[in-house]
Every structure is written in C-alpha cells, then in structure tokens.
Structure 1
Amino acid sequence: MKQLRLFPQEPAGLKLLSQMAQQIVLASGTLAEILGVSAADHAKLVEDMHNHDAKSSELHYALLTHMRTSFVNPLPREDMYTLSRYLNEAMEKMDAAAELVALYKLERLPKRAADQLEIISRQAELTVDAMRRLNNLDDLEDYWIEILRLTKRAERTHRVWVADMISDMKWAQYSRNRDVANQLVEVTKDMRRIATQVGSIIVKES
C-alpha cells in the first residue's frame, strides 16, 4: 500500500540531481574525445571538461539553495545532499582524469581506458533516469543492483589494466597512466556510492 502524501512533492530537486548525473554522461563523451586526439588537441577539450565540472558545481549549489528555501522536498534533505555531493565528487574526478591526460601529454591510452569510460557512461545514464524517479522508489531496486554489477566489472577492468601496464610499460609511463586509471575507477566507486545511498533510501522508505 502506497503512503499517502499530505503535500505535493516538488520535483525541482530531483531534476537538479538528474542534471548533475547528465553532466557525467557528457563528461564521459568529452574524455573519450580527449583519448582519441593528439596531445596538441587536448587543451580545448580539457576546457570543455572544466565547463562540465563548473556546471556540476553550479547545480550542486542550486540544490543546496533549493533545499534551504523549499517547504516540501521529495526526500529527506540529508539524502538529497549526500546524492548531490557524490555526483559532484564523481564529476571532479572526471575533470582530474582529463587534466592528467593533458598534463602528462598522454596519447593512445590502452583499450581498458575506453572500457572504463563505457562503464562510467552507462552508470551515469542509469543514474540520470534514477534521480528523476526518486519520488517513486518501487522500481529503483533494479537500478541499485545494476550499478553494483557495473562497478564490479569496472574494478576487474582496473586490475587487469594495472597488471597490463606493469608488464608493458617503463616506470615513468606506468606511473602517469596509473594516475589516470585510478581516477576513472574512483568515478565508478562514486557512482556505486550513489546507488548504495538510493538503496538505503529504499530500505528506509519501505
């Protein structure tokens, strides 16, 4: 039996969370472009990535303002704040990964980098949709489970990527590539934190 709500739920906060997740989708596309061009062409794309990061921060602050000024929120404020913080932190790591590629002048990263970006993009796409539906938790358990599955896949990819780098690269090259690999796997972990928070909300509201 669904709980009756005395006040209409304001969707603005959920829309802001969804827009933050969309910035990660866009950022994964930008980072894929960065990995596909020469070092000489990194600067413009890294600037695009900085813009995604700035937009994410703007949306994060907008959500904080909305929560302070809104009488009714679809979820407890602490849950909305936690989701927003994890989304913003994931975006910051995407930005850092792009900046490292440019600073280190990396070109032709291994296929594992593209595999990780594919996972991040899929996690972010699922999260865009999930954030919109947080005021109806009945069908979000599948989202939670799928994000956890994708994160496990990302962690396996990371381990294989690191092992390959140790075998194939000299120390300086390995160190630079490992920094990028670490940023990307941390993004997938942030996406898992978001899904775990959603799972906690489902349990609390059930």
Structure 2
Amino acid sequence: MKLRLFPQEPAGLVLLAQMAGVIVAATGTLSEILGAPASEHQRLAEELHEHESKSLDLHFALLTHMRTSFVNPLPREDMYTLSRHLNEAMEKLDAAGDLVALYKLDRLPKRAADQLEIISRQAELTVDAMRKLEDLDELEDYWIEILRLAKRAERSHRIWVAEMLKDMKSTQYARHRDIANQLVEVTKDMRKVATQVGSIIVKES
C-alpha cells in the first residue's frame, strides 16, 4: 500500500459502498416483482422507488462530503463518476420495475431472472470493491470479473431479443423489449463503474 502523507476520510467510500448495497436490495425487490401477480406490482414498484430515492440521497450526500472534506481517498472527479454511474444503474432498475407494473405483465421469460442474477452479482462485488478503494492492489480481479459478467449479460440480452422476436406479437414484443433494454443498461452502468476503477488503478500504479 502506498504511504499516505495526510489522513484519509473514508466516509466517501462508505457512501459508495452503500449505493452499491442499494442496488443489491433493489434487485431483490425487482425479482419479487417478476414472480408476483399483477395485483402486487404497484406495491413492489413503490418499494423500488424508495430504493431509487435512497440512492439519490446517498449521491447527494457524497457530493456534500466531497465539498466539505479536506482530504479524500481518491480524486473528487473519480468519486463523483463512480457515484453517478451507481445512481444511474439504480434509476434504470427502478424504470424496469415501473414498466412491469405499468404494462401489467404477469410473467417475464427466464432471461429476465438471468439478467437480474448478473446485476445482483455485479452489485455485490461492487459493494466490496468500493470498501477497498484505498488499497487498489486488491481490485484488479474485480475489474476483470465485472467485465466478464457484463459480456455475459449482453449475450443473454441478444438471445432474449431473438427469442422474443420469434415468439411474441408486436405489442407484446415492444413491452418486453423495453424491460430487457433497461436491464442490460443496468449491467452496462455497472461495467462503467468497474471501468472507472480500472482507470483509477492505471493512474495510481
């Protein structure tokens, strides 16, 4: 670990880890929506909105912390970028749940659950990674694993779209495609977080 000339304030890293933790919780709620009858969708969608609101609160708390703290463990622009990507991932998860409720979809294909499993794994790894940002030597494997999961998600998305085109009528296809697109975009946002971590590793090496 590099010698630190000034004491570091880890509160920003705690906030980033909490934001990733909100995504873990939100994937659980969205999984419930996928398995619930349409009559339960609105209640669960409201729970997702609460996760999104918490993520935004944490994002603003991080901005306030960076403005008021003397020394941060990472450059402010890096911490802001990580926070922004995490918040955008949460926004898209929230949108996916909203669409399920608005379209009153009783059932989604197994591909949706597969994508949520990938997102949940990405988020769990990111919680741990955000806590370790003061020791970058431990994060190279994280960077690589998130990229691997993102590629898996993109391939699953392509197969899902192809299956929908084959099996669904146009209106049904359009609705399911909206949700599929939101989910794959979440995996891309998590990839952006890992790519930013990779950039930090390169700059600090």
| TM superposition score normalised by structure 2 | 0.99
Q: Which residue of 2 aligns with 1:98?
A: 97
Q: Which residue of 1 aligns with 2:52?
A: 53
> Within 5 A, what are the aligned runs for 1:69-80?
69-80=68-79
Distance 1:167 1:40 in 2: 29
User: Residue 121 of structure 2: SS of its match in structure 1?
Assistant: helix
Amino acid at match of 1:191: M
User: Residue 182 of structure 2: SS of its match in structure 1?
Assistant: helix
- Offset from partner CA, 1:56-106 (integer Å, 9 cap, x none): 000000000000000010000000000000000000000000000000011
Q: Which residue of 2 aligns with 1:183?
A: 182
Q: Which residue of 2 aligns with 1:199?
A: 198
> Within 5 A, what are the aligned runs for 1:97-116?
97-116=96-115
User: Residue 186 of structure 1: SS of its match in structure 2?
Assistant: helix
Distance 1:135 1:3 in 2: 9
Distance 1:116 1:107 in 2: 18
Instruction: Give how far 1:185 is off.
Output: 0.0
Q: Which residue of 2 aligns with 1:138?
A: 137
- Offset from partner CA, 1:3-36 (integer Å, 9 cap, x none): 3111111110000000000000000000000000
User: Residue 115 of structure 1: SS of its match in structure 2?
Assistant: helix
1:157 has 2:151 as partner: no
- Offset from partner CA, 1:96-136 (integer Å, 9 cap, x none): 00000000011110000000000000000000000000010
Q: Percent identity?
A: 78
| TM superposition score normalised by structure 1 | 0.99
- Offset from partner CA, 1:26-62 (integer Å, 9 cap, x none): 0000000000011111111001000000000000000
Instruction: Give how far 1:167 is off.
Output: 0.5
Amino acid at match of 1:170: K
User: Residue 71 of structure 1: SS of its match in structure 2?
Assistant: coil
List structure 1 segments (4+ residues) > 4 angstroms apart after TM superposition.
Answer: none
Amino acid at match of 2:41: H
Provide structure 2 residue ranges, at least 5 long, that are not aligned to the other structure.
Answer: none
Distance 1:69 1:136 in 2: 23
Q: Which residue of 2 aligns with 1:38?
A: 37
Distance 2:161 2:105 in 1: 16
> Within 5 A, what are the aligned runs for 1:3-42?
3-42=2-41
Q: Which residue of 1 aligns with 2:82?
A: 83
Distance 2:145 2:2 in 1: 26
Distance 1:100 1:109 in 2: 12
Question: What is the RMSD computed on CA atoms of the aligned residues?
Answer: 0.5
Distance 2:105 2:124 in 1: 27
Distance 1:3 1:147 in 2: 25
Distance 2:190 2:170 in 1: 30
